[in-house]
Amino acid sequence: MNPKYPHLFSPGSIGPVTLRNRTVMAAMGMSQSDNGFVNTAVLNHYAERAKGGVGAIIVEVTCVDTPLGLNTKGMLVIDDDKYIPGMARLASVIHEGGAKAFLQISHTGRGARRAIIGAQPVGPSPVAMPYSFMMGLANETPRQLTIPEIHEIEEKYAQAALRAKKAGFDGVEIHSVGYYLGQQFLSSTANIRTDEYGGSRKNRIRFHLNIVKRIRELCGDDFALIVKLSVVEQGKDGGISIPDGIYYSKKLQQAGVDAIEVLAGKWSEESGKNEKPESAYPDCMAVPLCQVVKAGIFLTTGRPKTIPLIGGGRAQDPVKAEAALAKGKCDFIFIGHALLAQPDLVKLIEEGREDEVRPCIGCGHCINQQLQHGGRAICSANAVLARGDNDYTITPAPVKKKVAVIGAGVAGVEAARIAALRGHTVDIYDSSDEVGGMINLADKPPFKEHFTLLRPYLERQLELKGVTVHLGKALTKEDVLALGADAVVCATGSKPVSLKIDGAERAVFAKDVLAGAATGKTAVVIGGGSTGCETAELLGKQGKAVTLVEVTDTLAGNTGKTARTILMGHLKGFGVKILTEHKALRITDSAVICADKAGREITLPAETVVMAIGERPDASLYEQLKDELPEVYNIGDSNGGGILPAAVYEGYTVGNKI
């Protein structure tokens, strides 16, 4: 045990279940099942994290009522006995890794989409789901559940718990956060019923208490029961107040629930300039809510709480997690996305190898890919996540080679890391004076500070894997041929594109602005992709008068909807003027001349003009080398670019090919 974290690595109990330490892997939807059944990808995903040292694993959201309760096509299901054999294998591999196994059970309610369930969604009341930061869209008005239907769903939760017990799980977690049915019953805005299930707090918690009682009847007291609870719902018209959340927590404690995972829910139609995306979330952000619950139970009952509270929220920093436990702010720490990025995070911390941890940068691709694009969750740091069968095996190279990687961005470093791990001798080269490539600009817009965590990780991995790093010189074809490498990986990035219009030479590129180039008091940003929007955001935050010009009707179209909504709120909050469906015609010494879709011209005063219309792959070195050497690869932005997870995946794949 790491002596720096005695509380984090002390055993703890959740009801009848004793964990080897105080860490709990939070349930995170991966959407990688086969029609609801556990498959090899699911088994490998959780086996890797169990081996990685976490105390307990709460398996991702699992549907108790198909099809109405589904939220994605790849969601796990537990509404029939036919799913028990697969769930038994899943519980077994988690136990083999030394972790305790819990299954999160849920119904999506009004958060379901007709395209997935083939019918109108259902909910406590006929109130449509408003904008959800997680789903990224509003939803159709649900059909109100009848009381007999509610009773049926309560029984389905209980039967799902019984199946989990038969499969060998140590307990279940009732999901009552986010856009799921549990939270919908608790929310005064989602639940406007006037019968026994609505109106008062006492009635709104009835759904949960009935489920808890029935699970106890079916599963007994030797089976742990956790509730993942929104103790506050922040929305335009409220929903769950802090007093509501304290009341619900108290009632769950009285009902014999073994632990509460404490979180907040959120609904919003728009974001303000101070709203933070996940890339700027504070560490252990949900821990203060545990303190609220703890104090609230004491104030309303006159006695200290007896129910363990699981707190977290970006809890990958062991120093802060240890402090939260040591000060009694919470009893267990839940860890989410950090365990997607680094499956053996807990083990590395326990062994004192914190500097080897691959950080979660809060990019949100894991959420966007599965909830908004209908695919599996992916990760910008972890190339294996949800790819194929989630096989983390690295096979030693049968023939050891001398490998040269040209370009030390994320794709190049990943290729170098994997190639070295497989036994090759690897040198990496970059014309810049630092490792990281475009990631060194990605942290420059506001609220993206977690991106700064990636470069130290990349540098440390190169050091640990014995990769020789050469910086500050651009290599020519002749330079590369002179290296005598058996295999060459080109990861030479991209170059910004400029419009072919009069005065274009007066503009500066967005990447130069992000790097710190001086700008005037008035600026026009041409190009409304993610880079253009983030550059306008930065300038607006600096107090500049900014106009953003985009030729299409869409801004930041390649940005996840959660982050995009927050970004749009920032642009509005910082006073950025937005002109979509406008085309830049020419640039003068003091202005940009644009035209709307009807051809009407408009003059935009500008001391600074920023060009942000995209990047062109710089594959020139690859083109010169591909016929000169037997083994040459082109990856990352020089191979067409794309989102960060794609670059990391390309590097990982090539590193395994060499």
Read off the tokens for 481. 């041929």
How far apart CA 307 and CA 301 sit, in angstroms, is 13
Read off the tokens for 33. 């099942």
Return all residues near 480 (Cβ < 8 A) that are at least 6 apart.
404, 406, 488, 621, 625
Q: Which of 310, 230, 309 is nearest to 264 (CA)?
A: 230
Residue among 180, 281, 457, 622 flagged as catalytic: 180
H helix or E strand, kind and range, residue 458: helix 454-464
Annotated catalytic residue 180: yes
Residue 429's φ and ψ, nearest 5 degrees, are -125, 145
Return all residues near 151 (Cβ < 8 A) that are at least 6 apart.
210
3-state class percentages of the chain: helix first, strand second, coil last, to nearest 5: 35, 20, 45
Q: Which of 138, 130, 151 is nearest to 65 (CA)?
A: 151
Cα–chain center distance at 99: 23
Locate all alpha helices (DSSP H) within 302-429, ordered by sequence: 318-326, 337-341, 345-350, 365-367, 410-421
How far apart CA 192 and CA 200 sit, in angstroms, is 10
Cis peptide before 282 (omega within 30 of 0): no
How far apart CA 125 and CA 143 sit, in angstroms, is 7
Read off the tokens for 208. 């949960």
How far apart CA 658 and CA 648 sit, in angstroms, is 16
Return all residues near 391 (Cβ < 8 A) that are at least 6 apart.
44, 384
Q: What angle do CA 137, 566, 260 make, to 5 degrees?
A: 75
Pair 183, 230: CB distance under 8 Å: yes
C-alpha to C-alpha distances, 62 to 107, 109, 174, 311, 323, nearest whole angstrom:
8, 13, 10, 22, 33
Question: Would you name the residues annotated as active-site residues?
Answer: 180
